[in-house]
Structures are given as C-alpha cells and as structure tokens.
C-alpha cells in the first residue's frame, strides 16, 4: 500500500469507511491500485496480456471490494491488504479463465470454417473449369468475383475479409462493429450462398 497513507491516517480512514464514508474507502483503495496492478501483471502471461488490461482487472477488484466491504472485519493495514489480495486473485483467475474460454471458442470456430474455405482447386471443380484453365488464376478469380458480387453486401464483405484478406474473426468483428458470433453466421450464410451459386453456374453451363 502507498506510503502516502501513514498508519494513523489509515486507521482514521478505516473508521470513516466503516461509517459509510465512500470517499474514505475510495482513498484506501486508490492507494492500493499500484500494488494490485503489479500483482495482475505478474499473474497474466504475455500472450493473454494482449487481450487483458491489468487496469481493468484492478478496477473490477476495487468494485468487488466496495461491494464486499461490509464483510471485512479486520482492523489493520496488513489484514486489509490480505483481504484485497484474495479478492484480486479470484478476479484475476476468473478473468484468465474467461479469456481462455473465448480463445478456445475462437480456435474451434476457425477450425470449423477452415474446412469450408473455397480453395482454388475446389472452386475450379465446382465451376467446371477445365484442367488447362485451372492454371489461369485470373480467370478463376474473375468468376469468383462475379459470384461474390451477387451475395448480400454484408455476407460478401465477410467472405472477402476472411478468405481473400485472411483476417481473423476478431479483427473482422471489430471493424464491422458486430459480435464474432454474428460474423461467423454471416460467413456461413455467405459460403452456403456461394456454393449454391457455384452449383447453378455449373448447371447453366451444361
């Protein structure tokens, strides 16, 4: 805890906080923020640190502490710090677990849709492109562009961003202002529509 709060001041603030003075409790918690932030940084690995802001976890801990303060029955600085550390550690663990769960769902979604990716050979077969034409990537791309242009705008955008620009689901969702589940749904509908159009194109050419 910050040395800016000496023992006498801490005792006074604790008494005031117990009497319902939110400002006193806030001053105590503010003094603990630097320590709590360093604690969070130490327990969140570098990979997850890209997604988890230690300051956000500290804020969550402070909110939890305010809510649970009536249950705190200690009278000393060390007791308060130990109490806060336990709340903070629980929040860190919950945050890490939540983000790892999201990460697993992202990976599963990536795997699920990877098999649906219309690579050049698959598209060539479905469009009835001859073996000699398969080497002509420009012709294949132009046919794909024509089919994609018939998709609804949002589906077309997601398919292009995912498979032509190789964007991650999270990046697409952020750019379009949609949830990742919504992006996944648009991609699935777009791919389904593309397959139907490929089949129709092949039938028309027979």
Of the segments 19-23, 100-104, 146-150, which one has the largest average pLDDT value?
Answer: 19-23
Q: What is the DSSP code string of 139-182? A: HHHHHHHHHHHTS-HHHHHHHIIIIIS---HHHHHHHHT--HHH
Q: Higher model confidence: residue 141 or residue 150?
A: 150
* Pick from 31-35, 37-41, 96-100, 173-177: least confident: 96-100
Please indicate whether residue 162 or residue 125 has the higher confidence score (pLDDT).
162
pLDDT digits (tens, 9 = 90+) for 12-38: 999 999 999 999 999 999 999 999 999
The residue ranking higher by pLDDT, 65 or 143, is: 65
CB neighbour class for 170 (10 Å; exposed up to 12, middle 13-18, buried from 19): middle
Structure-token pair, residue 106: 């992202």
166: left (phi over 0), alpha (psi -120 to 50) or beta: left
Whether pLDDT at 104 is above 90: no
Neighbours of 51 (CB within 10 A): 14
Query: What does pTM read for this prediction?
Result: 0.49
pLDDT (tens digit per residue) in 40-61: 888 876 666 666 788 888 999 9
Domains, in order of start, for the chain: 7-106 (1.10.1740), 116-205 (1.10.10.10)
The whole-number pLDDT of residue 32 equals 92
Report the residue count for the chain. Answer: 206
Q: Look up residue 52 and give its two tokens.
A: 């988890």
Greater model confidence, 103 or 131? 103
């Amino acid at each position: 805890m910050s040395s800016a709060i000496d023992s006498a001041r801490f005792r006074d603030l604790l008494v005031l906080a117990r009497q319902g003075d939110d400002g006193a409790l806030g001053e105590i918690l503010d003094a603990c923020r630097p320590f709590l932030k360093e604690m969070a940084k130490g327990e969140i690995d570098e990979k997850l640190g890209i997604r988890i802001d230690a300051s956000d976890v500290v804020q969550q801990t402070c909110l939890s502490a305010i809510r649970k303060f009536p249950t705190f029955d200690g009278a000393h600085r060390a007791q308060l710090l130990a109490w806060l550390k336990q709340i903070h550690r629980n929040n860190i663990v919950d945050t890490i677990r939540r983000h790892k769960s999201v990460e697993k769902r992202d990976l599963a979604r990536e795997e699920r849709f990877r098999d649906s990716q219309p690579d050049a050979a698959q598209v060539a077969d479905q469009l009835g492109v001859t073996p000699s034409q398969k080497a002509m990537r420009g012709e294949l791309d132009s046919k794909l562009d024509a089919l994609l242009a018939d998709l609804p705008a949002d589906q077309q955008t997601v398919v292009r961003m995912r498979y032509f620009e190789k964007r991650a689901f999270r990046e697409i969702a952020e750019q379009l202002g949609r949830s990742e589940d919504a992006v996944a749904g648009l991609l699935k509908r777009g791919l389904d529509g593309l397959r139907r159009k490929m089949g129709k194109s092949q039938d028309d050419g027979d």
